[in-house]
Structure 1
Amino acid sequence: MRGGGTDRAMSGRAGGMALAGVLCAAVSSPAGAQAVGDPGARPRVVQVVLPAAPTPIERFAAEELGRCLQLSLGWQVQVREGAPRGDARPVFWVGTAEAERLAPVPAAWARGKADALREDGVALRGDGRNVILLGKGPRGALNAVYTFLERYVGCRWPEPDREYVPRQRALKLDGIAFVSNPAFPYRGIAIHGQCSPEWFTRIVDWLGKNRLNGFQLFIGHYETLRPQVLAEVQKRGLSPNIGAHSREFFFPAEKYFQEHPEYFALVKGERTPHTQLCYANLDSVPQYVENIVTYLQTRPEITMVGLWPSDGYGFCECERCQAGHVTDVILNYTNALARGVAEKLPQMKCEFLSYIHYTVPPKEVRPLPQLVPTYCEYWSRSQFHPITEERNENRRCREELAQWIALAKEVTLFSYYGDDCIKRFLYNPLEDVVVTDLRTYHKMGLAGHFVLLTNPESWWSQAPHLYAYARAAWDPAITPRQVAEEYYASLYGPAAKAMQAHAAACRALFDLKLVQGATGEEVLFGFGFPHYDVAKDEESRAQVAAAIERILAPLAEARGQRGGVGAAARGEAGGRRALPADGV
């Protein structure tokens, strides 16, 4: 009897694992290829006028405007500095919204809109003969150009190395009066996986085109990439946030432990170099600060430095560390670091990590103004549903985040929308979650986000919701439907509706209530069924087969339109993703 019971249990587990494997296989999607359209050429000549002595970012903005106008309309674009020449019209005035640097035509518009613009914000005006594209701050001109191209030409940049520039016969340039500011000051991607310089350059280009303004990297990764990517970063005016779990770099145990073991954590009665510092001991702060400042002085492009503890646990168990609230102890030490950095580099922002067991806000210590706490939701919240839904520990995350926002001058969020570990390396578009979340966070007063991406060169698996993040980080009023329509149309052309249906079917699988009592999300997240009733095996297989058919059917429809995609691509400039191959 026991043997029979064991065989039966193993059979049930095998059946459950088999179905779970089929479910996992059903929500994959391949990478794409590029198709290039020929927009033709037209004889019209237009001028792009920059301020006298333009910045490199303004020059790049003019290049991008000219490139896209030529691709879309065939216009020949002449770039001037200071003033136009001759009678060629229209004239595009591009620059930062500093009236004293501008010619009279754009200067008047800049003065009138100066109070309406925040950092990175844009002001556009067009009367048919003159088109003024201005923005506030170093990135402002580039943001203004991309806003114009997106809003009035119809360009889209759904993924790195994927550009949609529609072919136009004419462009309406009168009646333009548009002012827009980003909802969040910090808008960026945290790249915590390996990434080649070539692919990182594509990401940098995508960030700039979608008006995101920063990225986060570990120091070692940044040092590897920097020689080949810095020029691309700087001409887009992006703000590097470098450091993250940086303790080992700035205060390595191999250099300091032997002479000062008291600087390091006491774990199980012994000082150890392998985990954390003793954060109640501020004697290590001066050397730590000196190391940070020395590094930053050689990297003037960095605008924020991450001063996170080592990843994981292993915190100090000494009496002084245990006597205080854990968040207070770590925050007090990080405040001391930030204070020391500010003495030498007063404009530098420092980043404090609120993570694992120290997401709880401090009881007594308050972050210094130059220290930006980043709240890390991690595994505790549901990544498959909006933060407003009462799932997992969403309520606790909302409450803790609200408390941090009340305590600090600026607070950001470290989001896990692109974490393949939590997402189980599956294709599960979350546009609705991202847009809903960003609306909530904007109302709460959050200063911004860095969205974790663990496998940046497998961008496709996170692409729909990363595009949603880029769009909603500027304007949370955008709808999930609008985001989805833009994304799929710009990638797949006539096959967009079918591919959107495919993505929706993948997403629906996560909410599907299975015969075995679990949801698809629970099965996929746990790599198996919590309980498997062999008596329902046949019914379970039929249910899963039907779900998979709903996923695959739109692909068959899309493949039937591949010729249409090619024809459409000839009418646009830029690349489209190829349709998935047979068998997903």
Structure 2
Amino acid sequence: MTIRFAALELRRLYRNSGIELEVRRMEADDDDKHPGTIYLMLEEQYQASPFSQTPLSLKNDGFAVLDKGEEIWIIGKDERSVLYGVYHVCQKKLGYSWVHFDEKKENRKEKDVSCVQQPLFPRRGNIIETIDDPIYINQLIDWGAKNGLNEYFFTFFLWDKVKKHIEGELVKRSMNVTLGGHSLAFLLDENKNQATHFLKDPVSQETVMKRIYEICSESPIVTRVSLWPEDVGIHQDDYAAFMPGYITFTEKLKSALKDLDVEVEHIVYNAGLEWNMLERSEGTEVSQDVDVLYAYWGRDYSHSIHSGREEQSRATDSLLDWKAETAKRGRSFTVLEYYSDHFMLSELFPPLFNRIREDVEAYKKLGVDGLLNLIVPCHIKRYDSDITSGYPWKWIQQINNYMYAGLSWGKDYEDLVNSYVSTFGKEKDPYRSILIDLERILSAHTFWNVPLFPARVVDPEKVSGIEEREKVTPYLDEVLDFLEKRTPTVRKELLALQTKDNFASFTPEEMLQFYFHYVKEAVRKCKREWQEQGVDVHGL
């Protein structure tokens, strides 16, 4: 099915360029040449064909393009990788690009697009927990295939809502689907008490395993289950038993799903900033049967994972320990990052170009098998709708999601940045400089996620300490000074037309100016509230 879709996409993109194209699937006994044809085939078909001259050795998702002038061969390890090859050829031969959700075309053409491409990480995708918006999810799925992603991860409760609207688009592109997340209450029919005491209740565990089996049986596209505990810290009395009990459950789940082609993983995650849920205790053995997903919440994104800062060093040591023990048992190890999480990064959302580049290099060097990016909408407070209700978070999160997708495939950093800023027209160089500098300044606010927990810099109403205010407000002054001096002002008549979801009606340059506008407004509001909070504290 995916090769057929790849052929249709190839015809569509060439036809939109004014070229009528013949696309053929290579048959084993077809040794005739057909000038002006593009052949689509799997690696095994190519190896058996009379045209095979040099044996290929493609990894999963890898593809090769052989450009012979009058004929082109697009060869994939599997059907999805043939689709990747199609988009690569159309990008290089015809000038297409998919930086944003819309499809752009430039007047450029490379004569020879021969190449062999293999992804940097076997597992690359977006985690979508709560976004009940099938139209948007389908946009992400289409965009992800064009940018080399291979997985979409949904909570069970979201999958239940959107499956009928998105499953066909996932199947068409042979995307992997992981189900899980914080879904215990849903699987237990919203019984939160059972979910909280789940690991101590064999009956609840059986109920959950049965429901998961039924859900996976209905959707063969589901390739992995990653069910997480409730998003709360554990009690001190449960430290020793929690992780071994949770791993044992995932092993039982793997056994229950043995008739299905579904992998199982458990998460290592410091819920509530609880280190005992992140660090492996002496009594916790890494499983021989299930994989590991590692997620460190509270990271300071202005520093690398090897920065040497106390909490980051502790988290990195934990990562290295879990990775080493997982490798000994031949299991997969994936890292979850928060590059598109508008809760952790807030409406003071920083571009993370350099951080993602350094992360990808570090994780690859450590032998990490997968890197996933979490997408979380902007958190709207009841009294705060004046800014966040119009904040175009779907467009803004793509600033980092685009860099993540390209770098996790293995694309060149400079090429990606150049492609991104090229969408801003003649002002691309100044905008590039602003975004690079803005990352350094704006990412520093993530340092406060831990000291202020569960508050963030944008939540001064939840903080009562004078010391924090005296440190945060000078920082906000620095950010505001940069934004006012370096970023352009959006025209009022454009702002009057803009809503959070109508980004397709504006140019990328206009959307970038909206982004600068909303960050400036958020910083001003945040600074004002911190100052007012200081007055309230002194008046107590």
TM class by smaller structure: 0.7 to 0.9
Match of 1:328 in 2: 244
Task: Say whether residues 1:341 and 2:285 are aligned partners.
Answer: no
User: 2:194 is paired with a residue of what secondary structure?
Assistant: coil
CA contact (8 A) 1:71 1:165 kept: no
Task: Say whether residues 1:550 and 2:485 are aligned partners.
Answer: yes
Task: Say whether residues 1:492 and 2:416 are aligned partners.
Answer: no
CA contact (8 A) 1:501 1:554 kept: no
1:340-489 map, 5 Å: 340-342=256-258, 344-345=259-260, 347-356=261-270, 357=274, 358-379=277-298, 381-391=299-309, 393-408=311-326, 409-455=331-377, 458-475=393-410, 478-479=412-413, 481-489=414-422
Quote the offset at 1:136 in angstroms.
Answer: 0.6
Query: 1:551 is aligned with what amino acid?
Result: R
User: 1:162 is paired with a residue of what secondary structure?
Assistant: coil
Paired with 1:297 and 1:525, the residues of 2 have a C-alpha distance of 44
CA contact (8 A) 1:94 1:141 kept: yes
Match of 2:7 in 1: 62
CA contact (8 A) 1:246 1:308 kept: yes
1:93-492 map, 5 Å: 93-99=39-45, 104-105=50-51, 108=52, 112-113=55-56, 116-159=57-100, 161-168=101-108, 171-173=110-112, 176-252=113-189, 254=191, 272-273=193-194, 275-279=196-200, 282=202, 285-313=205-233, 317=237, 324-342=240-258, 344-345=259-260, 347-356=261-270, 357=274, 358-379=277-298, 381-391=299-309, 393-408=311-326, 409-455=331-377, 458-475=393-410, 478-479=412-413, 481-489=414-422, 491-492=423-424
Paired with 1:274 and 1:369, the residues of 2 have a C-alpha distance of 26
Q: 1:171 to 1:102 in 2, by over 3 A?
A: farther
Q: Tell me the percent identity.
A: 21
Q: 1:532 to 1:181 in 2, by over 3 A?
A: closer
Quote the offset at 1:453 in angstroms.
Answer: 0.6
- List gaps (5 residues or longer) in structure 2: 379-391, 461-465, 495-504, 518-540
Aligned with residue 579 of structure 1, among 490, 497, 510? 510
Q: Once structures 1 and 2 are overlaid, which stretch shifts more, 496-505 or 89-98?
A: 496-505
Q: 1:428 to 1:370 in 2, by over 3 A?
A: same
Paired with 1:331 and 1:384, the residues of 2 have a C-alpha distance of 33
CA contact (8 A) 2:36 2:71 kept: yes
Paired with 1:81 and 1:508, the residues of 2 have a C-alpha distance of 49
Paired with 2:130 and 2:211, the residues of 1 have a C-alpha distance of 25
Paired with 2:76 and 2:506, the residues of 1 have a C-alpha distance of 28
Q: 1:86 to 1:309 in 2, by over 3 A?
A: same
**TM-score, with structure 2 as normaliser:** 0.77
Paired with 1:495 and 1:286, the residues of 2 have a C-alpha distance of 59
Match of 1:71 in 2: 16
User: 1:432 is paired with a residue of what secondary structure?
Assistant: helix
Paired with 1:452 and 1:293, the residues of 2 have a C-alpha distance of 25
Quote the offset at 1:183 in angstroms.
Answer: 1.2
CA contact (8 A) 2:22 2:37 kept: no
Q: Higher relative contact order by CA 8 Å / sep ≥ 6: 1 or 2?
A: 1
Paired with 1:501 and 1:393, the residues of 2 have a C-alpha distance of 31
Q: 1:533 to 1:147 in 2, by over 3 A?
A: closer
Quote the offset at 1:473 in angstroms.
Answer: 0.7
Larger radius of gyration: 1
User: 1:414 is paired with a residue of what secondary structure?
Assistant: strand
CA contact (8 A) 1:431 1:483 kept: no
Match of 1:503 in 2: 435
Q: 1:540 to 1:86 in 2, by over 3 A?
A: closer
Q: 1:274 to 1:215 in 2, by over 3 A?
A: closer
CA contact (8 A) 1:464 1:484 kept: no
Quote the offset at 1:331 in angstroms.
Answer: 1.4
Quote the offset at 1:153 in angstroms.
Answer: 4.0
What is the aligned residue count?
467
CA contact (8 A) 1:149 1:155 kept: yes
Quote the offset at 1:86 in angstroms.
Answer: 10
Query: 1:406 is aligned with what amino acid?
Result: A
CA root-mean-square deviation: 3.6
Quote the offset at 1:247 in angstroms.
Answer: 1.9
CA contact (8 A) 1:163 1:576 kept: no
Paired with 2:32 and 2:292, the residues of 1 have a C-alpha distance of 54
Quote the offset at 1:373 in angstroms.
Answer: 1.2
Query: 1:484 is aligned with what amino acid?
Result: V
Quote the offset at 1:200 in angstroms.
Answer: 0.9
Quote the offset at 1:104 in angstroms.
Answer: 3.4
Paired with 1:217 and 1:540, the residues of 2 have a C-alpha distance of 36
Q: 1:442 to 1:505 in 2, by over 3 A?
A: closer
CA contact (8 A) 1:121 1:179 kept: yes
User: 1:385 is paired with a residue of what secondary structure?
Assistant: coil
Paired with 2:477 and 2:187, the residues of 1 have a C-alpha distance of 57
**Which deviations, in whole Å up to 9, do the C-alpha atoms of 1:155-187 show, x marking residues without a partner?**
32112x22222234x5513xx542121111110
User: 1:445 is paired with a residue of what secondary structure?
Assistant: coil
Paired with 1:540 and 1:57, the residues of 2 have a C-alpha distance of 50
Paired with 1:341 and 1:425, the residues of 2 have a C-alpha distance of 41
Quote the offset at 1:502 in angstroms.
Answer: 3.4
User: 1:360 is paired with a residue of what secondary structure?
Assistant: coil
- List gaps (5 residues or longer) in structure 1: 1-55, 255-263, 265-271, 560-573
Quote the offset at 1:292 in angstroms.
Answer: 1.9
Quote the offset at 1:88 in angstroms.
Answer: 6.5
Paired with 1:183 and 1:549, the residues of 2 have a C-alpha distance of 39
**TM-score, with structure 1 as normaliser:** 0.71
Paired with 1:231 and 1:541, the residues of 2 have a C-alpha distance of 46
Query: 2:19 is aligned with what amino acid?
Result: W
**Which deviations, in whole Å up to 9, do the C-alpha atoms of 1:67-124 show, x marking residues without a partner?**
223334x21123344579998633211122122797533xx15x710xx211100111
Q: 1:542 to 1:75 in 2, by over 3 A?
A: same
Query: 1:503 is aligned with what amino acid?
Result: L
CA contact (8 A) 1:278 1:315 kept: no
Q: Once structures 1 and 2 are overlaid, which stretch shifts more, 194-203 or 382-391?
A: 382-391
Paired with 2:395 and 2:475, the residues of 1 have a C-alpha distance of 30
Q: 1:59 to 1:314 in 2, by over 3 A?
A: same
Quote the offset at 1:512 in angstroms.
Answer: 8.4
